[in-house]
Amino acid sequence: MEVKNKRVVVTGAASGIGKALCKAFYQAGVKSLVAVDVNLDGAKQTADSVEGIAVEANVGKEDAIIDVIEKSNKHAGGVDIFCSNAGISGVPGFFEAKTSDWQNIWEVNVQAHIFAAKHVLPQMLEREEGYLVNTSSAAGLLTQLGAAGYSVTKAAAVSFAEWIKITYGEKGIGVSCLCPQAVRTAMTAQGPGVAGVDGMMEPEVVAQEVLSAIAEERFLVLPHTEVAEYVMRKGNDRDRWIKGMQRLQKQYEDFLTPTDITFPRGDKK
């Protein structure tokens, strides 16, 4: 899809990849931009820098996504490209996460994509043209050591994007799924962790990769090119891949495993 003169919505737009996406779209000559974030002040700063509008929204709530799309329709007459980019790292570990923590990360990292597609696709299908960009992570294709919630929800995000592409790809709907490793954002402010094994990437570089993927209508967006090789190895021999990841887990075990864990029923084994 040619992005010039398109009407674009970006969630998670206050900082990081979302902010970089807004600037990249603006430089590419889009018709309109809607910057969405739970941080309204940050969204306004981004919107002001790209001559767009800001909308406050907790994207994990369906009513909030409906409101975003309604305001975008009112502002520009419709949505051509919807970048469902917002995401959270959630509570690390496994035993440490409460049921409410799982619900929270599921809503933001998975349901937000589902709500966006559910409510923006009808107008795109009617026009027989539209594009969804869903931000997942390399963790969604591989796994995330030390963070069960993040790993599981990012895998679900990839799966949903694939389903949309399979189901509606021949009806004029483009889909790209962004799966980077460590990117210099607020989420990695304390360091890249294991995800930084192939280096930290700037969000502006990632944003340009996204625009290239849209132009090529390419499904996977892999700014860290090493990820493609890792996915191939995983697919060729899953057991060997798991053993390799177990070795990496052991290497980073002191970093990944909390020293004070309360196990269920107090059984610390």
All structural domains of the chain, each given as residue ranges with its CATH number in brackets, are: 7-228 (3.40.50.720)
Calculate the alpha carbon distances from 79 to 34, 121, 133 in Å.
10, 9, 13
101 HSE (CA, 13 A, CB side): 15
Closest CA to 46 of 59, 33, 60, 65: 33
Q: What is the pLDDT of residues 58-72, one digit of tens each?
A: 999 999 999 999 999
Closest CA to 11 of 102, 171, 97, 119: 119
pLDDT tens string, the chain, 269 residues long: the values are: 999 999 999 999 999 999 999 999 999 999 999 999 999 999 999 999 999 999 999 999 999 999 999 999 999 999 999 999 999 999 999 999 999 999 999 999 999 999 999 999 999 999 999 999 999 999 999 998 899 999 999 999 999 999 999 999 999 999 999 999 878 766 654 555 555 566 678 999 999 999 999 999 999 999 999 999 999 999 999 999 999 999 988 887 766 655 444 444 443 33
